[in-house]
Structure 1
Amino acid sequence: MSKLLNYDKEFKSALTISIPVMMGYLVLGFAFGLLLSSFNYDWYLAPLMSIFIYAGALQFVAIGFFNAKVGLIDIAIATIFINIRQSFYGLSLLKKFKHTGKFKKYLIFGLTDETYGLLTTIHEDKRLNKKYFYFFLTALNQFYWIIGSTLGAIIGSNIKFNTNGLEFSLTALFIVLCIEQYKKLQNILPFVIGATASIVALILVPNDKMLISSIVISLLLLFTFQKRVENDK
């Protein structure tokens, strides 16, 4: 812990850069906590899930699983399909995480869509120790989520709220991050490919297989138009 205190520049930089995620995660985490408490689950499940699972979309879906008493095998299969996208885009961070040493496992565990969005859009300060900067950025984002979900669960356990529509808040944050990605890349083709793949999967594939199907279609299209995507950068 004392060693971490020597990297205050990395911490301050990560804190500044993570402010947009903080604003989103506190609200989204709060929404998750409220939703969890609305199903009469104990408040402490919110921080436990946020510490050991830490997967926003999956945590929202997990509430429905628990309420419907879905079996463990079904939950495991659904978890793979919901989070498999991180296996694909996480590959692009292998080079960044190559020299992160003891932090590498946590950085992999703590990788979320929003953290990925920051890591791939920010202009890194070469004066910073990247290993500690990545660690602080990832840890801060998870901290925001834990605080938001815990507060939501505690307050929701004592005050009744109308939770209709809260699950859409996560989608709203994805949209904002997508816009930020476009501002950096200034290349519309990857987004057109993603939208096309999603529409095709929505029309032709059953709902329970739509996510993985849209990912596979997107990858195939990206490989097909790889030269155009790279030349337009």
Structure 2
Amino acid sequence: MNTPVSQTARPSTRAALLGGAFSITLPVFFGYIAIGIPFGLMLVNAGYPWWLSPIMSMLMYAGAGQYVAVGLFAARVPLPAMVLAMLMVNIRHIVYGLSLMERFKTVGRWKPYLIFSLTDETYALLTGITPPPSVAPGPFYGTIALLNQLYWITGSLIGALAGAIIPFSFNGVDFALTALFVVLLMDQLRRGGNGIPALIGGSCSIVALILVGPGNMLIASLAGAIAVLSLLRGVRQ
């Protein structure tokens, strides 16, 4: 008598897990399609084959880092400089990972993939939600991260195919990534999130732009934001 109940419960639980994760990631779906398409277009416009776009999105999956990589490839930047630039662009993920160490202790076999797939948007979702009582944290967080990557792969593939077939103007497409960050910030604030880190990050970016210029502002703004946030944390403790 127990076997049929168990067999019917599993698909039901999986369907509920997938449906819940999809509803949570729906804003990222629209955002990743919107910014994935320009990435695919830019890659093809730089002279690379369309199939490189989904492969990069599967194996690299770095969002802003992939946009930067296209420019570095086109400029034939040496590999050591390219690695350093990518590290600087994605160095914030170290902070993301440190803040999720406690939460990832309960995710089981999903942990390696969650570490690999931790993007800005996935981090924003994982820190703003709690798994339902009937769902284990690992599958819940993992499904969210997996759906987000599938959205990104789909968007970049659509853009690459469109760029290979249809002539396209690239004016303004690079603003898509900035627009997504703004939307995610507004959504997080609407859910009751703390807006102080965002305010500090924005202020440090403006100060860095004024003091060191656009060419060096990334490292300066990140260092400033980390220093201010660490100082505030020390004062609170």
**Structure 1 length as normaliser, TM-score?**
0.90
- Write out per-residue CA displacement over residues 76-109 of structure 1, whole angstroms, 9 at most, x where no aligned residue: 0001100001111221111111121221111010
- Given candidates 195, 198, 202, the residue that maps to 2:202 is 195
Gaps of 5+ in 1: none
How far is 1:228 from its partner? 7.6
- Deviation, 1:5, is 8.7
Deviation at 1:36, TM superposition (A): 1.1
How far, CA to CA, are the matches of 1:222 and 1:76 in structure 2?
27
Q: Does 1:133 align with 2:140?
A: yes
- C-alpha distance in 1 between matches for 2:43 and 2:32: 16
Shift of 1:221: 1.3
Read off the aligned partner of 1:71 and give its amino acid letter.
P
Q: Which amino acid aligns with 1:215?
A: L
Residue 181 of structure 1, aligned match among 172, 180, 188? 188
Q: Which amino acid aligns with 2:96?
A: Y
**Distance in 1 of aligned mates of 2:188 and 2:201:** 13
Q: Match for residue 44 of structure 1? A: 51
Shift of 1:123: 4.5
* 2:82 equivalent to 1:75: yes
Determine the C-alpha separation between the residues in 2 that align with 1:78 and 1:149. 22
Mean CA deviation greater in 125-134 or 111-120: 125-134
Match of 2:146, as an amino acid? A
Listed one character per residue, the Cα deviations across residues 84-139 of structure 1 (whole Å, up to 9, x for unaligned) are 01111221111111121221111010010011111112344222211101111000
Q: Report the Cα offset of residue 155 of structure 1.
A: 1.4
Q: Which range moved further: 181-190 or 163-172?
A: 181-190
Deviation at 1:208, TM superposition (A): 3.9
Q: Which range is displaced more, 187-196 or 107-116?
A: 187-196
Q: Which structure would you say has the larger RCO, counting Cα contacts within 8 Å and 6 or more residues apart?
A: 1
Q: CA offset at residue 220 of structure 1?
A: 1.6
CA-to-aligned-CA distance 1:2-51 (integer Å, 9 cap, x gap)? x9996332221111111110011111111111111112210000001000
Q: Which residue of 2 aligns with 1:142?
A: 149
* Aligned residue number for residue 54 of structure 1: 61
Q: Please give the per-residue CA displacement for 1:48-70, whole angstroms capped at 9, x wherever unaligned.
A: 10000001111111111111111
Q: Which has the larger displacement, 141-150 or 34-43?
A: 34-43
Structure 1 letter corresponding to 2:72: F
State the shift of 1:226 in Å: 2.8
Q: Which has the larger radius of gyration?
A: 2
CA distance in 2: counterparts of 1:86 and 1:227, whole angstroms: 21
Percent identity reads 43
For 1:125, what is the secondary structure of its paired residue?
coil
The 8 Å contact of residues 68 and 86 in structure 2, kept in 1 or not, is answered as no
Change (3 A) 1:178 1:130: same
* Residue-by-residue CA offset, 1:153-185 (whole Å, 9 max, x unaligned): 011101110012111100100011111222234
Q: Which residue of structure 1 lines up, in the alignment, with residue 124 of structure 2?
A: 117
Aligned-residue CA RMSD in angstroms?
2.1
- Distance in 2, matches of 1:208 and 1:5, equals 52
